[in-house]
Structure 1
Amino acid sequence: MSLDDAVQDLADRLGVALVVLDHDLKIAAFSVHDTDARLARLARLLAGSTAPVTKSLVKEYRLHHAKHGVRVTQDDGELVVLPLRHEQQLLGYVYYVEDRETPCADDLEILESAAPEMGALLSLRISERRHGKENSKHLLAALLGGSPEARSKAAETLVRDDLIDDVENYSVLVLQAPESSSKSVTRLAVEATLEFTTRSTTVKIVGAVLGAEGIVLFPRPVNHDRLERALAGPDLEEVVAGVGGVKPSLTEAVHSYHEAQLASRASRLDRHRYGKRVFWEDLGIDRLFLQLPLDRLTPSQLPTGVRRLLNAPHGVELATTLEGYLDSGGEIQGTARRLRIHRSTLYYRLDRIREVIDCDITDGSVRLELHAGLRIARLAGLWPHK
């Protein structure tokens, strides 16, 4: 018998709608919810908007230590919760909201008598999930880091085992927590993305933590707004998300992965411009610059005009002004608006820039050299400190 069968049989016997949660209070199974009120509660639970059993409830009623069912009075009715164990290990909880007109006196006895079998079946389901996650992790690692033959085999297995949809649009999301954070934050970001997607759609996605990166493979383009909502948790505020471009086959997803890594790098190097959710398609010329050995560049390798500007007194102010001027295509009013300064101040600074670099900044080739040099200096961390 499966956990789903056991839950449904017990629910039919009691005349209630049962839900089984694992130790992390995530849904492991639920019975048929056959009334409007029950369906509404289930919909709220699946959407993540409300959960009758919370960490605070577990702590308040010491549910993790309970040996018998516990009755909890809540606004929408009495909640009956029973811990599920296997070989003395707490694995989760089974609960129902009391909504029957005439409850039976021996409900708790019936529930508790079924607990050992349900605990064993929940243990098996958790084990299957863990095995499935490990299998997905190995396949994802082979798909994104193996030889062409290994990638082809991993792609075939992912589709055959119904772990990912067989489509013509694949994109990769790379998640990275700050270096000061623990690896668990990255894992939490992956889980949050998987859970959000599972709740909101039937699209199959695969995710795992590989090294310091959290990786999620999507069989479609990644939606920016939904990505923001998936990573909206308080523990995920500083997680950086890089999204690669869409590729036409699973074996080419490795290219989307490399693009996602570069997009993630862009956020770390220039958070002011890119923020924490960066898409490859939005990088522009930085697509090329980010593939340079930026960590090995030195100031001596920058164009002469850029070096002079960065080393000059008030170098940050002058470099920022020139960068804004070049970003605005040399248009005075647009530059002044971008920098939030008066036009007379801008003219003064441009004159000072001409003196320092000893170049004609209206010349196209000079502008190209200065613009590229300033951008590379910023990405390489060679921008002067104030």
Structure 2
Amino acid sequence: MSLDDAVQDLADRLGVALVVLDHDLKIAAFSVHDTDARLARLARLLAGSTAPVTNSLVEGHRLRYVKHGVRVPQADGELVVLPLRHEQQLLGYVYYVEDREAPRVDDLEVLESAAPEMGALLSLRISERRHDKENSKNLLAALLGESPEARSAAAETLVRENLIDDVENYSVLVLQAPESSSRSVTRLAVEATLEFTMRSTTVKIVGAVLGAEGIVLFPRPVNHDRLERALADHDLEEVVAGVGSVKPSLPEAVDSYHEARLALRASRLDRRRYGRRVFWEDLGIDRLFLQLPLDRLTASQLPAGVRRLLGAPQGAELATILEGYLDSGGEIQGTARRLRIHRSTLYYRLDRIREIIDCDITDGATRLELHAGLRIARLAGLWPHR
């Protein structure tokens, strides 16, 4: 008998709607919810907006240690919770909300008598999940690896085992926690993305933590707003996300992965411009610059005008003025608005910049050289401190 069958049989015996949670309070199984009130509770639970069994409830009622059912008064009916164990190990909980007009006196006894079998079945379900996770992780690593043959084989297996949809649109999301955080934060970000997607759509996606990176493979373009909502948890606000473009076949998803890593790098190097959620499509000319050996560049390799400007007194401020001027296409009013300075101040500082770099900033070729040089200097960390 499967866990689902055991839960449904017990629910039918008791006349209640049962839910089984694993040790992390994530849904492992649930019975049929056959009334409007029960369906509404289930919908809220699946949407992640409410969960009757919380960590505070577990701690407050010592549910990790009790061996019998616990009744907890709730606003919409009494909550009945029972820990599930297998071989003395706590694996999760089964619960229901008491909404019957005439409960039987032996309900807890029936529930507790079924607990050993449900604990064993929950243990099997958890083992299967671990195997599926490890399998998905290995296939994802092969899909994004160096060997074309391994990528093709992994793509075939992912589709055959129904782990990802067989479509013509694949994109990769790369997640990474700050260096000061533990790797578990990256894992939480992957799990949050997977859970949000499973709650909000029937699309099949695959995710895993590979090294220091969290990777999620989508059979569709990644939606910016939904990505923000998936990572909306306070603990994940510092997580950086890079998103690659859509590719037409699963073996080509490796190209989306490399793009996503470059997008993530853009956030690391220029948080001011890109923030923490960066899409390859938004990088513009930085797509090229980010593929340079930026960590090996020195100031001596920059164009002469850029080098002189960055090395001058107030170099950081003047370089920012010139960058804003070039970003605005040399338009004075737009530059002043962008930099939030008066036009007379802008004119004065542009004159100062001309003196330092000793070249005509209205010349197209000169502008290109200066603009590219300034951008590379910022990405390479060669911008002087104020």
Give per-residue Cα distances to partners, 1:58-104, cap 9 Å, x unaligned: 01111111110000001111000000000000000000000000000
Deviations 1:318-356 (A, max 9, x none): 000000000000000000000000000000000000000
* C-alpha distance in 2 between matches for 1:234 and 1:57: 21
- Deviation at 1:146? 3.5
1:173 equivalent in alignment to 2:192: no
Query: In 2, Cα distance between the equivalents of 1:126 and 1:332?
Result: 63
Once the two structures are TM-superposed, the CA of residue 115 in structure 1 deviates from its matched residue by 0.3
Counterparts of 1:146 and 1:214 in 2: how far apart (Å)?
Answer: 18
Please state how far the C-alpha of 1:234 moved relative to its aligned partner: 1.0
What's the RMSD between the two structures over aligned residues? Answer: 0.4
1:131 is aligned to 131
* Alignment partners' CA distance in 2, 1:206 and 1:194: 8
After TM superposition, the score normalised by the length of structure 1 is 1.00
Write out aligned runs for 1:187-336 (5 A). Answer: 187-336=187-336
Counterparts of 1:1-386 in structure 2, within 5 Å, are: 1-386=1-386
Cα distance in 1 for residues equivalent to 2:145 and 2:193:
22
3-state SS of the aligned residue for 1:341? coil
For 1:185 and 1:36, the matched residues in 2 are separated by: 37
- Secondary structure (helix, strand or coil) at the match of 1:74 reads coil
SS at match of 1:381: coil
- Distance across 1 between alignment mates of 2:41 and 2:311: 64
Separation in structure 1 between the aligned mates of residue 145 and residue 238 of structure 2, nearest angstrom = 26
Q: Scaled by the length of structure 2, what TM-score is found? A: 1.00
- Mapped to 1, the partners of 2:109 and 2:264 lie a distance apart of 54
CA distance in 2, matches of 1:385, 1:77: 61
Alignment partners' CA distance in 1, 2:192 and 2:81: 25
**Which amino acid in 1 is paired with 2:178?**
P
SS at match of 1:367: helix
Q: Secondary structure at the match of 1:104?
A: coil
- Matched position secondary structure for 1:214: strand
Give the SS at the match of 1:16: coil
Quote the sequence identity (%). 90
Distance 1:66 1:264 in 2: 46
Q: Give the superposition deviation at 1:165.
A: 0.1
2:97 partner amino acid: V
Q: CA deviation at 1:374?
A: 0.2
Whole-angstrom distance in 2 between the partners of 1:142 and 1:286: 28
How many pairs does the alignment contain?
A: 386
Please give the per-residue CA displacement for 1:195-237, whole angstroms capped at 9, x wherever unaligned.
Answer: 0000000000000000000000000000000000000011101
Distance 2:25 2:6 in 1: 19
For residues 276 and 22 of structure 1, the distance between their equivalents in structure 2, rounded to whole angstroms, comes to 32
Runs (5+) with no aligned partner, structure 2: none
> 1:361 deviation in Å?
0.4
SS of residue matched to 2:144: helix
* Displacement of 1:28: 0.3
SS at match of 2:246: coil
1:123-174, Cα deviation, whole Å (9 max, x unpaired):
0000000000000000000000140000000000000000000000000000
Q: For 2:219, give the aligned amino acid.
A: P
The AA in structure 1 aligned to 2:296 is R
Regions of 4+ moved over 2 Å: none
Letter in 2 for 1:376: I
Give the aligned residue type for 1:378.
R
Following the alignment from structure 1 to structure 2, what is the Cα–Cα distance between the partners of residues 125 and 57? 24
